[in-house]
Structure 1
Amino acid sequence: MIRNDSIEIAMDVRLRRAFSTFPTGVVAVCALDSDGVTPIGMAVNSFTSISLEPALVAISVANTSRTWPGLSRSASLGLSVLGSGHEQVSRSLSARDGDRFGALSWAAEEGGAIHLDGAALWLSCHLEQTIEAGDHTIVILAIDDLTHFDDVEPLVFHQSRYRSISA
């Protein structure tokens, strides 16, 4: 079937709407830049557990990301599953310009992984494998360490809006 641009755009809108029906968590992927001082990071909502043995998770990163190339060079990546009060944190880490970390409370590990205060879960990971998949790259990460916070409810992204889990 031949498609023109208007049909492609319509399909893109339909796919975005369809994919938004699946609620996801929001995860900050952060590390110190190669200078060992400057924090770099981004928010992703394409995060999933992959394996218990070995301990693996995956994220999906747009091939157009300007942040991922810097993160991919880091020896250790910090993943923070954002808490229900982190909507502004997610927006800050998703911004294309400006100081993404200016208003954030965070700490760096010795290996360079950065974790955000108030998160539901911290994972320290290293890059295991990447797989090109369409306009994104699937990033498989090996878990080196974790800390979870049972009292923190996660931030949820559903139908293009931030939400909280309620009983």
Structure 2
Amino acid sequence: MSVEAGEKAPDFSAATDGGKKLKLSDLRGKPVVLYFYPKDDTSGCTAEACGFRDALPDFSKVKAQVVGVSKDSVARHDKFRAKYDLTFPLVSDEDGKICEKYGTWVEKSLYGRKYMGIERATFLIDKTGTVAKVWHKVKVPGHVAEVLEAVKGLK
């Protein structure tokens, strides 16, 4: 089951790049863009991460925090972050517990082969910790701009 708009965002505490920890509830008081992506340093995931990176000044103007989540290790996140100069936290969900809480660990299909993987999804969480909007099966082109517009529309 996925978390939907109007529900409280499930809290979590997890390791991020740089050996830090991030607790979602510590970000209350400002909007949070929590985006889930399949794998560091792959074409779609890199395009999405760089899109958020390039739009960070605009997200900062509306006091929004961007946070990426994948099952990659902290070490992989460190390399990915350094390679593309990413300046927002990347959460390591190696055990998949955060993906399960948000319903992004799903059955996928590629060339008729079924397997489990992360659905590319974004959750916009308002300053009270409530999910304001959800994007499932995200297509990368234009997504960052759409999320930014939604953040600007928050009260």
Same fold (TM over 0.5): no
| Structure with the higher strand share, 1 or 2 | 1
| Structure with the higher helix share, 1 or 2 | 2
* Normalised TM-score (structure 2): 0.26
**Which structure has more RCO (C-alpha within 8 Å, separation ≥ 6)?**
2
* Normalised TM-score (structure 1): 0.25
